[in-house]
Structure 1
Amino acid sequence: MKLATIRHAGRTTAALEVAGGYLPLPARDVGELVGHTDWQALVRETLNGHSAPDVIAREEATILNPVPNPRKVICCGLNYSDHILEMGRELPQYPTLFAKFADTLTDPDAEIVGGHSENVDWEAELAVIVGSTLRDATEEEAAAAIAGYTVANDISMRDWQRRTLQWFQGKAFDGTTPLGPVMVTPDEIDPEAGVEVICTLNGEEVQRGNTKTLVFSSAKLLSYISTFTVLRPGDVVLTGTPGGVGMGMVPPRFLKDGDELHTEIPGIGTLSNKFSARISTTV
């Protein structure tokens, strides 16, 4: 299944992608939907009981961030083995983790505003959406609790990130982490078998990695995280970025006003975001 959060006729709703458009579901967004007990059955019941007029045409829907209100957004750094080894580092024993706020998340085609930073970088990522509560979970339990996968770009303000030993302030700017366009359920996509994570800048490919090279799989990350903090339905975990970020280029390369980023995972979809160097006035 491909599930989206859409806006149509002034109303926001979770929706199932079907032939010709989107079938509204009884939830305001995908995050709320997966909080329902046996939400998959709810989707099937809606699908079985719908009629053609219920479907919203694609061109009439605005696609939004599928999970706008997660309790937790947790990210993993240094997780692609080929990239780690090419950097001359040893594979880590434990994942490097940091947190974001829900305010950092934005829509799949949103403008990214970064005027407070002169070193704005890109990080294409696979994101995992949690589908049931996890506390001290095994890998098997964690795998069973994955609601689905989506595309993310962890836009990073490197100059702010380097101000201290803590990454937080360079990763927590509001509206700088696009997510979407849909959540794809695990029966349709298998990151452990390998899916490509691709980022292009103004049409030039700058990143391409494959999730089969992840040191810590989605299930491993969720299991590890759940040993120290509970994960709940709708929470989001970003799994890390492959090589090709601007900070690692020689010389380093960062986003300029008007640049266009496209972040793609085949089988899920593409984020399309324009960068603006102005100062954000959004409250």
Structure 2
Amino acid sequence: MDENYEPGPVDREARHNGKDKKKKKTWDYDKELRRRQVELAHLQAWVKKSGARIVIIFEGRDAAGKGGMIKRITEKVSPRVFRVVALPAPNDREKSQIYMQRYIAHLPAAGEIVIFDRSWYNRAGVDRVMGFASEKKAQRFLELAPRFEAAIVESGVILLKYFLTVSEEEQERRFKRRIDDPLRQWKLSPMDVESYQRWWDYTRAYDEMLRITDSNHAPWWIVPSDDKDRARINCISHILQSIPYERLKFDAPDLGKRQKRPSGFVEDRSIRHVVPDVTS
């Protein structure tokens, strides 16, 4: 990471009080977010220049804020460098493949950062709890996942894994907000309702997943997310601190001079369909 990057107020505060979700904010979220998004742009330039390959996995409770986290990471950078992978349920052909096969196809090439919005850890979470995979297959996954990730890391890929947590009370509040808000209703799926009802089944599954698949080469990083703003700033800061990027000098292009209007140019007067101005 760039040696000139210094932790902001939230970074410093989190070191001492990361679990205090009720602590009064003494910092400007928009300002802190923009500062980190500028660093993400520097990271992007370095990844393209160096040919680095990075994988970032986001797992966690439903309504913990994974989508919002990923949006803040990617909204100011190129989708050709920061590529988000959110796979749907496997089709019949994919069900017949080796479990990891469809995920391997999405691993990064040189100059790419791949962000998994849920990942192969579906096998240890929703697949296991909802019965989409047998207990035997889930246990086999937990046994193999650290070895699979070791192979990824040994190939030179930087692998970061984040698990977003949320309290029962906050998850319920967010689900009720989705029910009441038409702009959020699409976020509430039948699987979300199941996860709400089966909180403790998911708790047991996630606890075992985190314990068994945490490793020196690919540790899990827990992101307390009852306070979404704080979670976003802390997590993005950690990503930046975990990647040894450098700020590269931007070679500003010379725009030169725009060509002059041709002397014989005649504007096209044909009818055009213009979007109505509803703001006036």
Q: TM-score band, normalised by the shorter chain?
A: under 0.3
TM-score normalised per structure 1:
0.26
Quick one: higher RCO (CA 8 Å, sep 6+), 1 or 2?
A: 2
Q: For the pair shown, which has the larger CA radius of gyration, 1 or 2?
A: 2
- Which of the two has greater helix per residue? 2
TM-score normalised per structure 2:
0.26
- Which of the two has greater strand per residue? 1
